[in-house]
Chain A
Amino acid sequence: MKEGFAVMTPLDPTKYYLDNREALSKITFYLMVGGAVLLLLAFGGAYFGGAGTNGGHGSGALPGAEIEGAVFKAAATVIEVSSRHKFFHTYLFSYVFYMAIAIGSLFFVVLQHLTRSEWSVTVRRVPEAVLGTFPLLIVLALPILTLGMGLLYHWTHPEAVAEDPILQGKSGYLNLGFFFIRSAVYFIVFYGLARVYYKNSTAQDVHGNVAHTARMQKYSPVATLVFALATTFFAFDYLMSLMPHWYSTIWGVYYFAEAVVLALSFMTLVFLVLRMKGYLEREVNIEHYHDLGKLIFAFNVFWSYIAFSQYMLIWYANIPEGTTFFVNRINGSWLEVSVLLIVGHTVLPLLLYISRNAKRNLKMQFFITILLIVMAIIDFYWVVMPNVDYGGVHVEMVDVLVFLGMGALFMGVFIRNLAKHPLIPVKDPRLERALNFENV
Chain B
Amino acid sequence: MKREASIFGMVAEFDNPHHLLEGAKAFSKAGYEKFETHSPFPIHGMDKAMGLKDSKLGWVVIISALLGGAGIFVLQAWAAVIAYPFIISGKPYLSTEAYIPATFEMIILSAGFAAVFGMFMLNKLPKFYHPLFKSKHFYKASSHGFFLSVEKEDTQFEPTKTRNFFTGLGAKNIEIIED
Binding site for B on A (CB under 8 A): 305, 308, 311-312, 315-316, 318, 354-357, 438, 440
Contacts and interface: CB of A to CB of B under 8 A. Distances in A.
Contacts of A438: 44-45
Interface in B145-163: none
A318 B91 CA distance: 10
B42 A440 contact: yes
Contact of B97 (A312, A356, A357): A312
Contact of B98 (A305, A316, A440): A316
A434 B62 CA distance: 31
B100 interface: yes
Contacts, number: 23
Contacts of B44: 438, 440
22 contacts: A305-B104, A308-B100, A311-B97, A312-B97, A312-B98, A312-B100, A312-B101, A315-B97, A316-B89, A316-B97, A316-B98, A318-B89, A318-B90, A318-B91, A354-B62, A355-B58, A356-B54, A356-B58, A438-B44, A438-B45, A440-B42, A440-B44
In order of increasing CB-CB distance, the 9 nearest A-B pairs are A438-B44, A315-B97, A312-B97, A440-B42, A438-B45, A440-B44, A308-B100, A318-B89, A312-B100
Contacts of A315: 97
A312 B98 CA distance: 8
Contacts of A354: 62
Interface string B42-59: 101100000000100010
Given A312-B98, A440-B42, 7 more contacts: A305-B104, A316-B98, A318-B89, A318-B90, A355-B58, A356-B58, A357-B54
Nearest to B55: A356
A311 B91 CA distance: 15
Contacts of A356: 54, 58
Interface string B72-110: 000000000000000001110000011011001000000
Contacts of B101: 312
B56 to A, nearest CB: 13
A81 to B, nearest CB: 38
A315 B97 CA distance: 8
A59 B89 CA distance: 43
Nearest to B95: A315
A131 to B, nearest CB: 32
Contacts of B100: 308, 312
A438 B44 CA distance: 7
A305 B90 CA distance: 25
Contacts of B91: 318
A356 B84 CA distance: 42
Contacts of A312: 97-98, 100-101
A440 B48 CA distance: 10
B17 to A, nearest CB: 13
Contacts of A440: 42, 44
A354 B61 CA distance: 12
A354 B66 CA distance: 13
Q: Indicate the member of A305, A316, A355, A357 with the most B CB atoms within 10 Å.
A: A316
B73 to A, nearest CB: 15
B55 to A, nearest CB: 10
A243 to B, nearest CB: 22
Contacts of A355: 58
A50 B133 CA distance: 89
B58 to A, nearest CB: 7
A357 B44 CA distance: 18
A355 B57 CA distance: 12
B90 to A, nearest CB: 8
B88 to A, nearest CB: 10
Nearest to B91: A318
Nearest to A308: B100
Contacts of A316: 89, 97-98
A356 B97 CA distance: 30
A231 B79 CA distance: 42
Nearest to A439: B44
Contacts of B90: 318
Nearest to B45: A438
B51 to A, nearest CB: 16
B85 to A, nearest CB: 19
A356 B54 CA distance: 10
A335 to B, nearest CB: 15
Nearest to A436: B44
A301 to B, nearest CB: 10
Interface in B99-125: 100-101, 104
A355 B101 CA distance: 23
A354 B58 CA distance: 10
Contacts of B62: 354
Contacts of A311: 97
Nearest to A305: B104
A131 B131 CA distance: 59
Nearest to A438: B44
A316 B96 CA distance: 11
B147 to A, nearest CB: 20
